[in-house]
Amino acid sequence: MSVETATAAASGANATEKFRLNKSVGAQVSAERVNQLASRAIKALVDTVTEEKVTYDEYNALKAWLIRVGEDGEWPLFLDVWIEHAVEEVANADREGSKGTIEGPYYVPGSPVLQSPATLPQREDEAGTPLLFQGRVTNVNGEALPGAHVEIWHADDAGFYSQFAPGIPEWNLRGTVVADDQGFYQINTLQPAPYQIPTDGACGQLISAAGWHAWRPAHLHLKVSAPEHQLITTQLYFTSDEHLSDDIASAVKPELILDPKPTADGKGREVSYDFVLAPGTAE
């Protein structure tokens, strides 16, 4: 089966299942906190209905759409695209060191562990421009963090993620790279392309009805960690991308934009980016 047969429903189902498998949702939340948050969210919806004079036709359209979001398995996609950026900003408001941004719906833990310098798993005929992504991991005092883990995943040149679209090897363009004893890492991969979030499901229906676009700028996903330091989840973007200013997920920050240069042999591009981890414990 080729990646061209990927569908929003299949991708959504995968995202929902992986969320259930990989995320802890057993945290204890007090009744007072649930009451506070749920009441405010419901009030915001009721205020919208009242202020915008929502009709029954519009109300029923909303119910039908919410049902379809569940049927398509697109709640992870919807929440990660339109809501997560605000949660991330609140969670990391006081963090020292490197900037974070959203994880998104396509993370899978347990990627192959590779020693730096490393080449991410990829198909023999993998399309795209070769990219050497390198840098150093330090603490906030500038001291190296030997053996830090740089976990990386990204879409292929067609905008598809392994384990979420058919026909792609399981760990394609995914890996956990171990930095050397000076905190340096080198990763050989391919520069990803911009892509549209799935548009043939409920989220696409919303985008079409609202007259929005569905594009995300090209990006690398990363989780960087070291013992006794806070894990940082982030994405890195590219200067030439036309969607930096209107990312559908509102996740771009100026500190996260890369400017790759041609390699000496002219066969690819390279860029350096250093990560600074704050003291603390992993999330």
All residues at 6 or more sequence positions from 13 whose CB lies less than 8 Å from its CB, including other chains: 72, 73
DSSP-derived pairing of the beta strands 275-277 and 130-139: parallel
Confidence band (pLDDT; 50, 70, 90) for 277? very high
The CATH topology of domain 1-283 is Protocatechuate 3,4-Dioxygenase, subunit A (2.60.130)
Q: What is the tens place of the pLDDT at every residue in 88-97?
A: 999 999 999 9
Tokens 């190296």, residue? 144
As a whole number of angstroms, the distance between CA 219 and CA 85 comes to 15
Closest by alpha carbon to 133, among 88, 89, 83, 173? 173
Q: Tell me, what amino acid is at 69? A: V
Mean pLDDT throughout 111-135?
97
As a whole number of angstroms, the distance between CA 235 and CA 224 comes to 11
The more confident residue out of 5 and 122 is 122
Query: What was the pLDDT predicted at 172?
Result: 98
As a whole number of angstroms, the distance between CA 180 and CA 169 comes to 28
Query: What was the pLDDT predicted at 18?
Result: 73
Residue 275 CA, distance from chain mean position: 17
The more confident residue out of 283 and 214 is 214
∠ CA 200-164-99, nearest 5°, is 100
3-state secondary structure the chain: CCHHHCCHHHHHHHHHHHHHHHCCCCCCCCHHHHHHHHHHHHHHHHHHHHHHCCCHHHHHHHHHHHHHHHHCCCHHHHHHHHCHHHHHHHHCCCCCCCCCCCCCCCCCCCCCEEECCEECCCCCCCCCCEEEEEEEEEECCCCECCCCEEEEECCCCCCCCCCCCCCCCCCCCEEEEECCCCCEEEEEEECCCCEECCCCCHHHHHHHHHCCCCEECCCEEEEEECCCECCEEEEEEECCCCCCCCCCCCCCCHHHEECCEECCCCCCEEEECCEEECECCCC
The count of other CB atoms within 10 Å of the CB of residue 155 is 24
- Phi, psi dihedrals of residue 15, rounded to the nearest 5°: -65, -40
Query: What was the pLDDT predicted at 9?
Result: 62
pTM score of the predicted model: 0.90
Q: Tell me, what amino acid is at 182? A: Q
Q: What is the tens place of the pLDDT at every residue in 62-118?
A: 999 999 999 998 999 999 999 999 999 999 999 999 999 999 999 999 999 999 999
Structure token pair of residue 93 = 């408001």
pLDDT of residue 4 exceeding 60, the answer is: no
Query: What was the pLDDT predicted at 131?
Result: 98
